[in-house]
Amino acid sequence: MVDNGIIAPGGTIGILGGGQLGRMLASAAAEMGLHAHIYCPEKDAPAAEVAAQFTCAEYDDEAALTRFAESVDAVTYEFENVPAETARILSEHGIVRPGPVALATAQDRIVEKHFMQAHGILTAPFADVSDEASLMDAVSSIGTPSVLKTRRFGYDGKGQAKIMSPEEARAAYDEIGRAPAILEGFVKFEREISVIVARGLDGETAAYDPVENIHKNHILDRTLAPAALPKAIADEACAIAARIANELDYVGVMGVEMFLLPKQGSKRRLLVNEIAPRVHNSGHWTMDACAVSQFEQHMRAVCGWPLGSPRRHSDAVMTNLIGDEVNAWEHLSREPDTAIHLYGKAEARPGRKMGHVTRLYPLGKRPPVTPS
Ligand code: AMP
């Protein structure tokens, strides 16, 4: 099924992780005449019910991983915390896309920041924290306010503590469990934006229009597509995302989160906050507002197909349905020009992403802010 690294229709893509991203990837694969095989330790995985095959096993189960790798034409993943040993075992048995360099870079905030620095991409000021002495050094060099984050495994604001004055540093370090950390200067950004970029097997890149992201309780609440930005800034954001993908020799879709700083004189600057080596929540609007969604685009890249156009045919506002917000499904499904996507999760726990809606508008007609 694999010829020159290209996987034709009829091939099987293994997906590590069984959440909503895996579910939407598996659905896109099916639309392309491919089969999806989900691998994850959770029994009631949202992705499993839309996939052709499902392996329920731990990420360190070498025998199960080997069988999985041998049953598919390529493996991809829906989350960045794939253990290095899991990635190693899988790549010994076949193709893993995106590759290990992207995974290692995105898994560790310090490695990620050094990568950006090495390629002249601006970030928040940062310092490495490995013990109390380096914490104190970091606080004196970075200053306050600042944010202490675990190097690994942070998401939706977890593993993070803000430090308003040097006296708060120890308590913040305790709060994040004294794990290896990074101290970042607190950025007084004007807006948060992101770019969903794809890079194909042949090195071609395609970026969707930058979008603005609004968070509630550290969780993405809404994505406004497109972000209202001067063209030069939008182009710069896309160019930064493409450069990162090229430098990582990336294959697949990647989310690049950025901070837009307030205007200083005539200049505005963009800082990269973090990259996600996978499809991204701030790209869900592409399912309804573009001919080729981020999920299809990722599958195209992973399979070595030509990338699709990232052109937007509508403006859009994507709103996440968190916890019991999903109970409004009936009311939401009566709204005109609104696509509803539910993830099939049984229990609507607080903070749990249960689904999303995308409200579509004619090009150029997106309201500046919509009720959440
Ligand atoms: P992260 O897990 O790095 O994406 O951080 C989660 C959220 O915390 C971001 O979307 C920002 O809203 C905020 N944040 C993270 N890092 C910083 C920073 N250095 N300065 C200001 N806000 C930040």
Domain identity same for 167 and 80:
no
368 located within any domain: no
Whether residues 156 and 65 fall in one domain: no
The angle at the Cα of 94, spanning 91 to 100, to the nearest 5 degrees, equals: 30
What CATH number has the domain bearing residue 25? Answer: 3.40.50.20
Q: Is 283 within a domain?
A: yes
Name the residue type at position 199.
Answer: R
Ligand 1 test: best mutation among 146, 182, 273, most atoms within 8 Å of CB? 273
Give per-residue pLDDT as tens, 34-78. Answer: 999 999 999 999 999 999 999 999 999 999 999 999 999 999 999
Q: Is 79 in the pocket of ligand 1 (CB under 6 A)?
A: no
* 210/357 same-domain check: yes
274 and 197 assigned to the same domain: yes
- The HSE-up count of residue 73 (CA atoms within 13 Å, CB side) is 21
Residue 261 lies inside a defined structural domain of this protein: yes
CATH code (residue 246): 3.30.470.20
Query: What is the pLDDT confidence band of residue 292, given thresholds at 50, 70 and 90?
Result: very high
* 205 and 330 both lie in a single domain: yes
Q: What is the rounded distance in angstroms from the CA atom of residue 276 to the CA atom of residue 102?
A: 9
CA–CA gap between residue 118 and residue 273 (Å, rounded): 15
215 lines ligand 1 (CB under 6 A): yes
The number of the ligand 1 atom at minimal distance from the alpha carbon of 157 is: 6
Shared domain for 82 and 204, answered yes or no, is no
Tell me, using a 6 A CB cutoff, whether residue 108 lines ligand 1.
no
Looking at the structure of the chain, the number of domains it has is 3
In a domain, 371, yes or no: no
How large a percentage of the chain has pLDDT more than 70?
A: 99
Average pLDDT over all residues of the chain:
95
The CA distance from 34 to 250, in Å, is 22
Judgement on whether residues 149 and 25 belong to the same structural domain of the protein: no
> Is residue 81 located within the same domain as residue 198?
no
- Same domain, residue pair 328 and 202: yes
Of 46, 75, 96, the residue that ends a domain is: 96
Q: Which residues pair with 148 in a beta bridge?
A: 161, 183
Span from the CA of 157 to the centroid of ligand 1 (angstroms): 7
Burial of 21 from C-beta contacts in 10 A (0-12 / 13-18 / 19+): buried
Range of the domain at 180: 125-185
pLDDT of residue 131: 96
- 273 CA: nearest ligand 1 atom: 3
What is the reported pTM? Answer: 0.96
Q: Is 273 in the pocket of ligand 1 (CB under 6 A)?
A: yes
- The answer to whether 359 and 341 have CB atoms below 8 angstroms apart is no
Task: State whether the beta carbon of 19 lies less than 6 angstroms from ligand 1.
Answer: no
Q: Band the pLDDT of 5: cuts 50, 70, 90.
A: confident
Tokens of residue 171, six digits: 């308590």
Q: The domain that contains 136 carries what CATH number?
A: 3.30.1490.20
Residue 366 lies in a domain: no
Kindly state whether residues 129 and 78 are assigned to the same domain: no
